[in-house]
């Protein structure tokens, strides 16, 4: 069945309990879906097999219901669609745009430290990850066939060359009623991003663009911390011939230290708040969300 209605999604990763930042994000997606007369989907982004836990998936359902949110069934669990992401990797491989990058995290850190010791700052991705320092060597020893497992990275230079002109833009919206604005995005700020890892048959960047297309997502509403990633997402969409949704990036909830909340801060988890007797209205108030009017 196809539908003309806008389609939105909240897409948490089940590697910890949801916190106040997730509550804001889920409520924003719901608010946009209502304002647009659209659908609200929930997607479980569980391709990080070493960190995802079924108990966290259950907790996501419970915590969102407790907040008063409803979503369509069935819920898409990315771990059930690994073949789909594998096919996309094969297509990128066939285009000569990815290569095996076997170095471990500690190899990478050691090499970057060695290079930085000579006084040269080593480039970092907008999310803080260091650029892969063995790209030249690994691109050269690329085998004829794609290995069935192990890390694979995007050859960013080759990808940008394939893309050619014109430069990429993302269509963004400030509020649900606004006209979309094209904003230039620059994937060149990133290094050779990881698309498959050791315990990750597909990384977030790959799986998200495929699912947004497959599920017909029209509006991606997510935290502003994800804004720089939009450049990589637009690039992958272009390389894989996927549709690009409209984007809106919302404010973040910061912790007492002024930094964005992380899943390791259990005290701010919705679960812990609920166990301490906090009511959903108080959670809404804590994140500056208007309390629903009683009927």
Site residues, ligand GLU (CB under 6 A): 11-13, 45, 204, 208, 222, 226
Residue 138, phi then psi, degrees to nearest 5: -70, -35
Taking the least distance from each CB to ligand GLU, the nearer of 109 and 262 is: 262
Cβ pair 240, 91 in contact under 8 A: yes
Taking the least distance from each CB to ligand GLU, the nearer of 138 and 211 is: 211
Taking the least distance from each CB to ligand GLU, the nearer of 139 and 248 is: 248
CB of 80 to ligand GLU, least distance (A): 16
What residues contact residue 286 under an 8 Å CB cut-off, 6+ apart?
Answer: 20
Cβ pair 49, 199 in contact under 8 A: yes
**Among 220, 213, 288, 172, CA closest to 32:** 220
CA 143, CA 58: separation in Å to the nearest integer?
41
CB of 9 to ligand GLU, least distance (A): 7
Taking the least distance from each CB to ligand GLU, the nearer of 220 and 273 is: 220
CB of 102 to ligand GLU, least distance (A): 26
Cβ pair 131, 191 in contact under 8 A: yes
Structure tokens at 98: 């990815």
Taking the least distance from each CB to ligand GLU, the nearer of 99 and 204 is: 204
CB of 109 to ligand GLU, least distance (A): 23
CA 217, CA 273: separation in Å to the nearest integer?
31
Structure tokens at 188: 């060149």
The burial class, CB within 10 Å (0-12 / 13-18 / 19+), for 117 is: exposed
Taking the least distance from each CB to ligand GLU, the nearer of 39 and 139 is: 39
CB of 39 to ligand GLU, least distance (A): 16
Taking the least distance from each CB to ligand GLU, the nearer of 226 and 240 is: 226
Cβ pair 212, 43 in contact under 8 A: no
Taking the least distance from each CB to ligand GLU, the nearer of 219 and 222 is: 222
Structure tokens at 272: 């812990």
CB of 245 to ligand GLU, least distance (A): 10
CB of 49 to ligand GLU, least distance (A): 15
3-state helix, strand, coil in the chain (%, to 5): 40, 15, 45
The residue whose two tokens read 């390791």 is 264
CA 116, CA 139: separation in Å to the nearest integer?
22
CB of 222 to ligand GLU, least distance (A): 4
272 Ramachandran zone, left/alpha/beta (phi>0; psi -120 to 50): alpha
């Amino acid at each position: 069945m196809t539908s003309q209605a806008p389609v939105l999604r909240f897409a948490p990763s089940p590697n910890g309990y949801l916190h106040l930042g997730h509550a804001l994000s889920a409520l924003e997606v719901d608010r946009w879906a209502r304002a647009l007369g659209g659908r609200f989907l929930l997607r479980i982004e569980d391709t990080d097999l070493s960190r995802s836990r079924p108990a966290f998936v259950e907790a996501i359902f419970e915590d969102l219901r407790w907040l008063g949110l409803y979503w369509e069934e069935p819920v898409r669990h990315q771990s059930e669609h690994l073949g789909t992401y594998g096919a996309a990797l094969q297509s990128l491989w066939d285009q000569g745009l990815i290569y095996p990058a076997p170095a471990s995290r500690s190899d990478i850190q050691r090499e970057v430290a060695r290079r930085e010791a000579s006084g040269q700052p080593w480039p970092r991705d907008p999310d803080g990850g260091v650029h892969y320092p063995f790209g030249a060597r690994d691109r050269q020893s690329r085998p004829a066939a794609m290995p069935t497992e192990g890390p694979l990275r995007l050859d960013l230079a080759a990808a940008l060359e394939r893309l050619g002109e014109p430069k990429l833009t993302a269509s963004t919206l400030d509020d649900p009623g606004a006209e979309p604005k094209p904003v230039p995005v620059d994937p060149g700020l990133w290094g050779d991003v990881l698309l498959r890892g050791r315990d990750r048959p597909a990384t977030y960047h790959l799986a998200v663009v495929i699912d947004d297309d497959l599920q017909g997502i029209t509006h991606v509403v997510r935290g502003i911390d994800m804004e720089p990633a939009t450049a990589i997402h637009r690039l992958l969409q272009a390389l894989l011939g996927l549709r690009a949704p409209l984007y809106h990036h919302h404010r973040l909830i910061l912790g007492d230290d002024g930094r964005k909340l992380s899943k390791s801060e259990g005290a701010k988890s919705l679960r812990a708040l609920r166990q301490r007797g906090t009511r959903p209205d108080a959670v809404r108030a804590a994140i500056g969300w208007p309390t629903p009017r009683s009927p």
